[in-house]
Amino acid sequence: MAEIQALAKGLKILNLLEHSRNGLGTTEIAKQLSIDKSSASRLLHTLANYGFVEQDDNSARYQLGPQLLTLGQHLLNRITLRDHARPYLHELVDKTGECAHLAIQAQRQALYIDQVESTAALRVESEIGTLSPLHCTALGKVMLAFADCNMPEEMRPFTHRTVTDPSTLEAQLTQTANRGYAIDDEEYNYGVRCVAAPVYDHRGLLVGAIGISGPAGRVTLERIDEFGDIVKETADALSTRMGYDARLQLSRGSGDTPAAP
């Protein structure tokens, strides 16, 4: 089917402005689209009338307009973490052979909102709706390490490996932040190891954690880094699907706005 040329050119203008930090003038846009200045001006005025672009009064340069933000917000409101995470949970199971979990923070705990089970006869499952402590689960440690989350007031021991000393936990969380994923080394349940990584949204805010759990005999200490890399890579892909732009966060980190962890 043939394109509507005027519409196509208008969309190309939006794409040009998307990649321009300081906006573009009419002449620049005309040159990049290989059209005359009067045609570019008419297109820009039409887009401005509908709020898709706006012109700076001082520089006369055009930038993206507020209508795009409105449309984007409608789209974002339809997006749910659980819906988008589902294929990534399946991907984790396929790559690791272990159960994959998705959690958010609720009531100062990690709330399991979805999981995909392993096909292995011996597997580690967590019922959806379960609340688990932050200080001794991989999903919970993600929330402590990568978000502005207060340390737990009480750190109950569940196994002899559970960290109950605040300073020791803080050191562990620093290590977690540096490597990009968290580990539960039989700290919540004997014979179970877990690995989890953070998921960010379009604002660069932590919205959840995704990870795997498996028997310690399969999730061995020798394979922790291997599993960690897989989980982190999957979490990064999910974050991108949620609109997170790591490059944008890094550029903000070099300016006045703090970068996300």
- Name the pTM for this structure: 0.69
What pLDDT was estimated at residue 151? 86
Give the CATH class of 5-59.
Answer: mainly alpha
**Which two three-digit tokens encode residue 140?**
């919970």
pLDDT (0 to 100) of residue 121: 80
- Predicted confidence (pLDDT) at residue 187 exceeds the cutoff of 70: yes
Percent of the chain with pLDDT over 90: 63
pLDDT of the residue at 73:
60
Q: What is the pLDDT of residue 119?
A: 84
Mean of the per-residue pLDDT values of the chain = 88
Q: Give the residue ranges of DSSP H helices in 66-179.
A: 66-78, 81-96, 138-146, 166-179
| Residue 251 banded pLDDT, cuts 50, 70, 90 | very low
Contact 44, 24 (CB under 8 A): no
pLDDT at 21: 77
Residue 218 exposed, middle or buried by CB count within 10 Å (0-12, 13-18, 19+): middle
Mean pLDDT of all residues in 58-72:
85
Q: How much is the average pLDDT of 43-66? A: 91
- Residue span(s) of the chain under CATH 1.10.10.10 come to 5-59
Task: State how far the alpha carbon of 10 is from the alpha carbons of 66, 68, 214, 234, in Å.
Answer: 16, 13, 52, 35
Task: Give strand pairing partners of 239.
Answer: none
**Which one, of 204, 73, 192, 194, lies nearest residue 139 by Cα?**
194
Cite the beta strand spans of 18-68 per DSSP E.
53-55, 62-64
Question: For residue 258, what pLDDT is reported?
Answer: 36
Residue extent(s) of CATH 3.30.450.40 domains in the chain: 78-253
Residue 255 has pLDDT above 60, yes or no: no
CA distance 7 to 248: 29
The more confident residue out of 22 and 27 is 27
Classify domain 78-253 at the CATH class level: alpha beta
Buried b (16+ CB within 10 A) or exposed e, 40-55: beebbeebeeeebbbb
Report the pLDDT averaged over residues 78-103.
91
